[in-house]
Amino acid sequence: MDENICLGIDFGGSGIKGALVDTRNGELQSDRHRIPTPNPATPEAVAQTIKEIVDHFNYQGSVGVAFPAAIMNGIVQNASNIDDSWIGQDAPKLLSDATNCQVKVLNDADAAGLAEMRFGHGKNIRGVGLIVTVGVGLGTALFTDGVLLPNTELGHVYLKKKKKVAEHWASDAIRKQENLSWKKWAKRFGKYLHHLEGLFYPELIIIGGGASKKFDKYSQYLKKVKTKMVPAELQNHAGIIGAAVEAMETKEESQSVET
């Protein structure tokens, strides 16, 4: 296998998806393989599912995993959309032991953001760029001149007027759960984006996650938002691509240190 090909995996609330990625250009080199996320999404169950994806590709090498939590030095810090037993776990070690591969773990929105900033709409942005991934929760990645501020988790901001955590009011899962029209949901989502706009004054907002594929259904209703907005160019492949690129760069850095 080409040494620039790496396996990227995106651990989402409803599915765990993986694909082989050419890390030079961010292009998928295989179809995505998707397995429903275990319920409950315990460390042991998720590790087994990720092993199944690695085995599906008959893959040996570095693996990148986009993870739905804040990650510090490999340790899981929170668990808003996964089982609480993940908190405090050394995710890279657990997943490396399960797969017999070197595993790099990073926050899922950060992974999507890294891919968009390198290969998508964010590659020429100077100043502040904000990526918001919309799915089971609301993930965010914040960049200044292309440099990531990791683990921002701005889906957890508290909206005082609504007396709710943002992702408990404006995620795609809530839209489906409450059977909201795109227009009604977009008014909520727009208020959330407007709140972030007033905190960070971004040059560009990129909408990622599953809702990026439906951007034309709701973009006209985001009237409160003044910042330029675009759907993610890489759509919901971005997490897979960013995770693969991060794993490849970590591998290259470790090799350069060894030599």
Q: Are residues 143 and 225 in the same domain?
A: yes
Q: Are residues 245 and 212 in the same domain?
A: no
Q: Are residues 220 and 249 in the same domain?
A: no
Kindly give the confidence (pLDDT) of every residue in the chain, 259 residues in length, as a single tens digit, with 9 standing for 90 and above. Answer: 788 999 999 998 889 999 999 999 999 999 999 999 999 999 999 999 999 999 999 999 999 999 999 999 999 999 877 899 999 999 999 999 999 999 999 999 999 999 999 999 999 889 999 999 998 899 999 999 999 999 999 999 999 888 999 999 999 999 999 999 999 999 999 999 999 999 999 999 999 988 899 999 999 999 999 999 999 999 889 999 999 999 998 877 666 555 5
In the chain, the DSSP E strands lie at 5-11, 15-22, 27-28, 33-36, 63-67, 71-72, 75-76, 103-107, 128-134, 138-144, 147-149, 158-159, 164-165, 204-208, 228-231
Q: Are residues 139 and 205 in the same domain?
A: yes
Give CA–CA dist 155/136, Å, rounded: 11
Q: Which residues pair with 77 in a beta bridge?
A: none
Query: In the 3-class helix/strand/coil scheme, how is 178-245 assigned residue by residue?
Result: CCCCHHHHHHHHHHHHHHHHHHHCCCEEEEECHHHHHHHHHHHHCCCCCCEEEECCCHHHHHHHHHHH
Q: Is residue 115 part of a domain?
A: no
We report the CATH number of the domain holding residue 78 as 3.30.420.40
Q: Are residues 84 and 44 in the same domain?
A: yes
Q: Are residues 95 and 193 in the same domain?
A: no
Q: Is residue 248 part of a domain?
A: yes
Domain limits at 204? Answer: 121-232
Q: Are residues 40 and 134 in the same domain?
A: no
Q: Are residues 210 and 244 in the same domain?
A: no
Q: Is residue 114 part of a domain?
A: no
Q: Is residue 191 part of a domain?
A: yes
User: pTM score, two decimals?
Assistant: 0.92
The total of structural domains in the chain comes to 2
List Cβ neighbours of 190 (8 Å cut-off, separation of 6 or more): 221, 222, 223, 224, 225
Q: Is residue 243 part of a domain?
A: yes
Q: Are residues 131 and 152 in the same domain?
A: yes
Q: Are residues 44 and 146 in the same domain?
A: no
Q: Are residues 11 and 89 in the same domain?
A: yes
Q: Are residues 23 and 70 in the same domain?
A: yes
